[in-house]
Amino acid sequence: MTTHPITPEWVKDAIFYQIFPDRFAASARVPKPSNLEAWDSPPTREGFKGGDLLGVLERLDYLEALGIDAIYFNPIFQSAANHRYHTYDYLQVDPILGGNDAFDALLAAAHTRSIRIVIDGVFNHASRGFFPFHHVMENGASSPYVDWFTFNSFPVNAYDADGSPNYGAWWGLPALPKLNTDNPQVWNYLMGVAEYWVRRGIDGWRLDVPLEITTPGFWEEFRRRVKAIDPETYILAEIWYEAGPWLQGHHFDATMNYPFNRACLNFFGGSALDTSIKPGDFQLQPITGTAFADAIDQLLSLYAWDVTLAQFNLLSSHDMARFLTMVGGDRQRLKLATLFQMAFPGAPSIYYGDEVGMEGADDPDCRRAFPWDEARWDHDLLDWFQRCTALRRAHPALRRGTLHRLHADESTYAFARRLEGETLVAAFNVGDAPATLTLPADLTQAAPFRDLLSGASLSLADGALVLPPLSASLAAATQTPS
């Protein structure tokens, strides 16, 4: 077993876009059942809006213009839930999404544009419609699939809304029977699913609640099998906290970086942060630039550098209120956080619609349908996202360069990224007054700087950088500081 984690090279340069398939885009080419919710109506827990994969394919021009080169899809397999975390067929894409043919068409079109595709794997639990569970519901203790799950008694009590399921279920929810991965047949079935989709061409798996699978050796075997097909397959784990033991090169490549998310909310949210909302049940609280710098230093110390460069750095997701809603609709705070996200080590992820100003409180409100009427877009915000992604793509130091803390105080934070002769300085002021940042003299006196956001030359006499309220600077040295 390796002592130094090796993560996929492509991820270190990637910019992700997360898509909730039912809510991003619908194509007229995909037949739909009749009882769909109106696209622009508020989302509900049970209702479907009819988004599909050909709708995504038809909007690849939009995604390319945004600057992304990887897509993470929430579950796409057949399911009786709009979020599709209730899988009932792991080998078939949901027909409402267009089925396997639509996925193959999307995969081919995306790969033609060098856009990678990562899909969601829900292997801890299935659904009441999953064929082995349905078999047990019909045959009780006589079913040959009875040990694919953990039953306490029979007959199976799967639909009594007022009672508890008499079988192991995720969070006790009857719709989500927990798979018995200690059973070799279940183990091999799930490994086969993982291998099947990698062979079919996906570029990675995002794993739902992976730490709830406690069978010894399961994730080690998962990694061996997937990487044997394609060593560059990305294995991304949903873990909401520090995950050092799981990122040593034996299990996962990276995690959804919720500690990064919380640090950004606390600092860039500042006085506008809604602390009554608790993403993942974590309490948020505004912090100073110094505390933010300390949090960033801590994040950078957690993992091997190859792991840090592969972390999935998100500001919003399907499991929490959107960043813009969390900061009271303040576009400028979202802009600053997005610039920081694009300048930070790891793979940034844009949650669909954040770039045009979509808002949304906790689930299901954070899963609204994308507004394809461009009159409803915040075009200034979209332009900012495009500029930030373009800067990340244009400057290798923002993707792979080392990070050096330069300054932090009550309302400001600045750092440098350095790689092979390229030096960039990112500085942020989240306060409501102008601020002067003192940067190291050896850095600022060694070379003139140009602000990449405005194009203006920066005067950094005596190492001083003045920032207006709620503003940022991303500057590049025109020559390498010694």
> CB 354: neighbour CB atoms within 10 A?
24
Residue 396, amino acid: P
In the set 52, 69, 94, 238, the catalytic residue is 238
Looking at residue 359, the DSSP 8-state letter turns out to be -
Q: Tokens for 147, please give them.
A: 């040990």
For 195-210, the DSSP string reads HHHHHHT--EEEESSG
| Helical H segments across 356-469, by residue range | 379-394, 396-400, 441-444
Active site residue 208: yes
Long-range contacts of 414-420 (CB under 8 A, 24+ apart): 414/439, 414/465, 415/293, 415/296, 416/443, 417/343, 420/396
Burial 444-455 (b: 16+ CB within 10 A, else e): beebebebbeee
Q: Which residue has the tokens 């984690």?
A: 5
Cα separation, 251 vs 6, in Å, equals: 11
In the set 208, 306, 354, 355, the catalytic residue is 208
Q: Tokens for 392, please give them.
A: 């990340």
Phi (first) and psi of residue 353, to 5 degrees: 90, -20
Active site residue 238: yes
**Which residues does the annotation mark as catalytic?**
208, 238
